[in-house]
């Protein structure tokens, strides 16, 4: 995996972790406005990182495969297969 792909996956992983963590907190503190704002921030960060990764290296999930002409979900290397 090249450095750009690695950096984007790191951003996705970090934002995903933060998002999951704040979701658990919000389950027990639903009125915490700061936590809700943090959730919105990390969700946007994750969405941007996923879009950047998918634009450069292909879909990360089946629902991101948007080619209506062919089934292109499996035509590229998977992130864990090395070079992307």
pLDDT in tens, 23-45: 999 999 999 999 999 999 999 99
Q: pTM (2 decimals)?
A: 0.76
pLDDT tens, position by position, 7-19: 999 999 999 999 9
Helices 33-57, 3-28: inter-axial angle, 10-degree rounding: 150
Domain ranges within the chain, ordered by starting residue: 3-65
Please say if the pLDDT value at position 20 is more than 80. yes
* Structure token pair of residue 65: 């495969």
Distances (CA, A) of 75 to 2, 22, 25, 58: 18, 35, 39, 9
């Amino acid at each position: 995996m090249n450095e750009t792909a690695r950096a984007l996956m790191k951003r996705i992983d970090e934002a995903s972790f933060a998002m999951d963590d704040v979701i658990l907190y919000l389950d027990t503190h639903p009125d915490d406005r700061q936590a809700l704002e943090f959730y919105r921030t990390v969700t946007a960060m994750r969405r941007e990182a996923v879009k950047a990764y998918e634009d450069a290296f292909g879909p990360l999930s089946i629902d991101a495969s948007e080619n209506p002409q062919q089934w292109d979900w499996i035509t590229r290397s998977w992130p864990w297969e090395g070079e992307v």
